[in-house]
Amino acid sequence: MLFRLLIVFSILVLWAVQPARAVTVNGDGPEATDAQGVPSDPKTGSLKPVKIGVLAFRGREQTLVHWTATADYLTKSISGYRFDIIPLTLGEMEEAVRDEKLDFALTNSGHYITLADRYGGSRLVTMNAKGPTSQENLTGSVIFTRADRTDISKLDDLRGKTFMSVAPQAFCFQTAKYRMREQGLNPHQDFKKLLFVGFPQDYIATAVMRGIIDAGNIRTGVLEAMAAEGKIKLSDFRILAQKKLEGFPYVSSTKVYPEWPFIKLKETDKALSQRVAIALLSMAPDSKAAKMGQYAGWTVPLDYSPVHSLFRSLKEGPYAGLSELTLASFFSEYKEWMILAAALLLISWLWVARTERVVARRTGELARANAALGEEMAERRRVQELARQRQSELSRVAEMNSMGELASGIAHELNHPLATIANYARGCIRKMRSGKENKDELLDVLQRVSDQADRASQIISGLRDSMRDDKHTRIKSDINQIIHEMSDLLEFDLMNSQTRLELHLSNSLSFANIDPVQIEQVLLNLVRNAIDAIEAADPAERLITITTSADGEEKLLICITDTGEGVAETVRKKLFDPFVSTKQEGMGLGLSISCSIIKDHGGLMWIGSTSTKGSSFCFNLPSGDRHEG
Ligand code: ADP
C-alpha cells in the first residue's frame, strides 16, 4: 500500500514539474500558441490554417519546441497556408482524427496503422530520425532497469517486479510486449504491478533511475537523447534482452520498425497533401526545421507491413477484434443468427429423423406387403396347380366319358343290324333244320343278312367320319324312298311286335341334301322307340304312322306317331339329353344321337302333340329340289 502511494506521489510530482498547457482542438483556428511567432489568429491574415497533430511522447512543450519549426517551414514553402502544430496524447489524437479536426498527423507507426484502419488516412513520407548512421528511419523499444539491479539481468527476472510504460496502446509498449511474449513473459500477468504513465517518456527513465519502479520501457533513442541533454547517464541503466541490430544507432530490446509517418488524413485536400509531401521530401537534413525537430529530413514512405505483422501477432490495433473473437463474443455478436441456425438445424434434424422414421415404417410395411404378396402368389400358384390338376382330371374324365359315349354310340347303332342279322340267321337255321327250306326264300334272307352287314359297315364308317370331324357326304336324296327302305328293314321287328306301320308320304316335297344313312338311322331310332312304347298297348291298337309333309316352303316335316304309352313325365324335359332312358336295358342315346344328326343337317327335332294316347316325334330338314315325279 505504501509502495503504491509512493508511486502515485512520484508521478504527481513528475507531472507537476511539466508546464500545464491546455490544448483544444476545434475547427475554429489554431488554438495552440507557439513560441515561434506564427500568427495564431486567422483573421489577421488571409492564410488558410492547416493543423498538424503531433504525438507528444515527450510532453507538449517539448513537442512544440521540436515541431514548430517544421510547421513554419511548411508555411513558408507552401503559399496560402499557415501550418500549426497541435501536441496530442494518443487518446487525444484519436479523438481529433475521429472528429476530423486535423489535416495531418505525425505519430508512431503503430498508432498510424490503427488510425488509418479506423478513420482512413495515408502516409505521405517517413521521418528520418537524426543519428550517426543511415538507419534512422527505423524505431524500436528499449526495456531497461537500473544498472545496479543485480537481481534483474534478463526479461524473465522481471516476474513479480514492478514495470512502467507509456500506455497499453503506445507503440513502444506494444513492441516490448511482443518481445516479452517471445521470451514467455506476459506483462499483463507476470508483473507485480504494470503502470502506464503516459507522456513524456522521460518520466519512465527517471522513475527507473530513481528506483521508484523496477523496470520500464520507452522508444529507442529517448535514452540517448536524454543522455545528450544531460538528464541521465546511459551507464546508469541495464538494457534487457538487447538486440544486436547492425547499423542501428540506438540500444534496442526489440526489432525495429519504420519511423513515424507524416499522415494525410482522409478529408485533407489532395493537392495540398502533394505539396506538403514535396516540401517535406525537399527539406535538407540540416535545415532549421530538421535541427529543431531533432530529425534528419524525410524520405519516401516506408513499408509498414512489419507493423501489421506485429499487431496481427499481438491481436491489437486493427487486429484487436481477433483477440475478442472468443466463443462468447462470437455468440453474443451472432446470437440471432446462431439461434436461427440452431433452430434450422433442429428442424432439419427433426425432419430427417421423422423422414427416417417414416421410411423405416414404410419399408416395414412394404416388407410385410411383399411377404403377404409372396404368400398370396404362392397360394395362387397352389390354387392354379390344383385347378390345373382338376382340369386334367376332368379332361381325363371327359375323355373317358367321350370314349364311353363313343363305345355306347357304336354299340347302339350296331345293335340293330346285328340283331337283325342274328334273327335272319336263326330263321335260316330253323328252316334248314326242318328241311322245309326254299332256295329262293333262303337267298332272300341271306340277301337281307348281307344288306344288314353292309349297313353295319356303313354305320361304322359314318362314325369314323364323324370322329374325323369331316363333313358328311350330303346327297340329294328322296326322303320317301329312305322311309320305304327303312320300313323293309323293320319288317321283322314290326311283325314280332304285332304292330302295323302306316306311311302317309307327301310327294310334293320329299327331296333333301342329306346323308341318307344317318337320316335312315334317325328314322330307325324313332320307329324302334315307338315299337318299344307300343308293347304295352292292345295288339289291335298297335299302330305306327309315318307322315311326311311340307313345313313351310323350305322344309320337309317328318313325324312318327305311335299309339304307345306316351312319353313319361319324368323324362319329358330332358328327353334329348344323352343317357336319359326309362328302359331297363336302354342306353338313352337314340334320341340324343338323332337330334344331333338332324341339327347337323340344319333341322330341328321335337315331341309333337297327339290327339289320342301315344307319342309323336317330329323333325324337319331343309328341302332340296322339288321331286320331278
Ligand atoms: P332308349 O331307347 O335307349 O331308352 P332313347 O333316347 O331312344 O333311348 O329314348 C329315351 C326315352 O324316351 C325312352 O327310354 C323312353 O322313355 C322315351 N321314349 C322315346 N320314344 C318314345 C315313344 N315313342 N313313346 C314313349 N316314350 C318314348
CA of 455 to the centre of ligand 1 (A): 23
CA of 529 to the centre of ligand 1 (A): 5
Arithmetic mean of pLDDT, 121-147: 84
pLDDT-derived band at 43, boundaries 50, 70, 90: very low
The pLDDT score that the predictor gives to residue 435 is: 85
Query: ∠108-112-116 over CA atoms, to 5°?
Result: 175
Separation CA 527–CA 283 (nearest Å): 160
pLDDT of 48 higher than 90: yes
Arithmetic mean of pLDDT, 162-174: 91
| Sign, Cα dihedral of 472, 474, 477, 480 | positive
CA distances from 317 to 116, 171, 201, 213, 308 (A): 10, 10, 21, 27, 9
pLDDT-derived band at 68, boundaries 50, 70, 90: very high
How does 537-567 read in b/e, with b if 16+ C-beta sit within 10 Å?
A: beeeebbbbbbbbebeeebbbbbbbbbbbbb
Domain ranges of the chain: 2-134+260-310, 141-255, 339-467, 475-626
CA distances from 190 to 96, 161, 180, 181, 244 (A): 35, 8, 10, 11, 26
Within 166-287, where are the H helices? Answer: 171-182, 187-190, 202-209, 222-228, 270-281
pLDDT of 468 higher than 80: no
Separation CA 406–CA 412 (nearest Å): 10
Higher local confidence (pLDDT), 452 or 96: 96
* SS3 per residue for 28-87: CCCCCCCCCCCCCCHHHCCCEEEEEEEECCCCHHHHHHHHHHHHHHHHHHCCCEEEEEEE
CA of 566 to the centre of ligand 1 (A): 9
Strand 257-258 and strand 215-219: the pairing is unpaired
CA of 500 to the centre of ligand 1 (A): 19
The pLDDT score that the predictor gives to residue 467 is: 58
pLDDT-derived band at 22, boundaries 50, 70, 90: very low
The model's pLDDT over 483-526, given as tens digits with 9 standing for 90+, comes to 998 888 788 889 889 999 999 999 888 899 998 888 988 998 99
pLDDT of 10 higher than 50: no
| Sign, Cα dihedral of 553, 558, 562, 568 | negative
- Ligand 1, atom nearest to 576 Cα: 6
Topology (CATH) of 141-255: D-Maltodextrin-Binding Protein; domain 2 (3.40.190)
pLDDT of 620 higher than 90: yes
The model's pLDDT over 326-351, given as tens digits with 9 standing for 90+, comes to 677 677 777 888 889 999 999 999 99
| Sign, Cα dihedral of 11, 13, 17, 18 | positive
The pLDDT score that the predictor gives to residue 6 is: 44
The model's pLDDT over 585-607, given as tens digits with 9 standing for 90+, comes to 888 888 988 998 899 899 999 99
pLDDT of 179 higher than 80: yes
The pLDDT score that the predictor gives to residue 355 is: 92
pLDDT-derived band at 325, boundaries 50, 70, 90: low
pLDDT of 131 higher than 80: no
The pLDDT score that the predictor gives to residue 322 is: 60
Q: Which of 572, 581, 615 to mutate to test the pocket of ligand 1 (most atoms within 8 A of CB)?
A: 581
The pLDDT score that the predictor gives to residue 498 is: 93
Q: Which of 490, 522, 591, 613 to mutate to test the pocket of ligand 1 (most atoms within 8 A of CB)?
A: 591
Evaluate whether 141-255 and 475-626 have a shared fold.
no
Separation CA 175–CA 257 (nearest Å): 9
The model's pLDDT over 313-324, given as tens digits with 9 standing for 90+, comes to 888 878 876 655
Residue whose CA lies nearest to ligand 1 atom number 8:
588
Residue whose CA lies nearest to ligand 1 atom number 22:
530
- Ligand 1, atom nearest to 591 Cα: 6
Phi first, then psi: give them for residue 584, nearest 5 degrees: -65, -40
pLDDT of 103 higher than 50: yes
Topology (CATH) of 2-134+260-310: D-Maltodextrin-Binding Protein; domain 2 (3.40.190)
CA of 592 to the centre of ligand 1 (A): 10
Residue whose CA lies nearest to ligand 1 atom number 23:
530
Residue whose CA lies nearest to ligand 1 atom number 14:
581
Higher local confidence (pLDDT), 283 or 463: 283
- With a Cβ cut-off of 6 Å, ligand 1 is lined by 525, 529-530, 533, 562, 564-568, 571, 575, 580-583, 586-592, 615
DSSP secondary structure, 381-409, as one string? HHHHHHHHHHHHHHHHHHHHHHHHHHHHH
pLDDT of 215 higher than 60: yes
pLDDT-derived band at 75, boundaries 50, 70, 90: very high
- Ligand 1, atom nearest to 614 Cα: 24
- Ligand 1, atom nearest to 525 Cα: 7
* SS3 per residue for 329-369: HHHHHCHHHHHHHHHHHHHHHHHHHHHHHHHHHHHHHHHHH
Residue whose C-alpha cell reads 329340289 in the numeric block: 625
The pLDDT score that the predictor gives to residue 589 is: 84
Separation CA 554–CA 50 (nearest Å): 141
Do 304 and 261 touch, CB atoms closer than 8 A? yes
pLDDT of 474 higher than 90: no
For 607, the grid coordinates are 315331341
Q: Which CATH class is domain 475-626?
A: alpha beta
Separation CA 496–CA 542 (nearest Å): 12
| Identity of residue 389 | Q
For 149, the grid coordinates are 539491479
Q: Which of 415, 532, 592 to mutate to test the pocket of ligand 1 (most atoms within 8 A of CB)?
A: 532
CA of 587 to the centre of ligand 1 (A): 10
Percent of residues, the chain, with pLDDT higher than 90: 50
pLDDT-derived band at 13, boundaries 50, 70, 90: very low
The model's pLDDT over 224-265, given as tens digits with 9 standing for 90+, comes to 989 999 999 999 999 999 999 888 888 999 999 998 999 999
pLDDT of 466 higher than 80: no
pLDDT of 455 higher than 90: no
Arithmetic mean of pLDDT, 54-74: 92
Furthest-apart CA pair in the chain: how many Å? Answer: 197
CA of 451 to the centre of ligand 1 (A): 26
Arithmetic mean of pLDDT, 377-383: 86
The model's pLDDT over 279-304, given as tens digits with 9 standing for 90+, comes to 999 999 889 999 998 888 999 999 99
Arithmetic mean of pLDDT, 539-551: 93
208: helix, coil or strand?
helix
The model's pLDDT over 390-437, given as tens digits with 9 standing for 90+, comes to 555 554 555 555 566 667 777 777 877 888 888 888 888 888 888 888
pLDDT of 364 higher than 80: yes
**Of 89-103, 460-474, 562-576, which gets the smallest average pLDDT?**
460-474
Residue whose CA lies nearest to ligand 1 atom number 17:
567
Report the residue count for the chain. 629
CA of 449 to the centre of ligand 1 (A): 27
pLDDT-derived band at 146, boundaries 50, 70, 90: very high
CA distances from 209 to 202, 206, 212, 213, 541 (A): 11, 5, 8, 8, 175
Residue whose CA lies nearest to ligand 1 atom number 3:
586
Distance of CA 520 to the CA centre of its chain: 85
The pLDDT score that the predictor gives to residue 406 is: 66
Average per-residue pLDDT for the chain: 84
The pLDDT score that the predictor gives to residue 51 is: 96
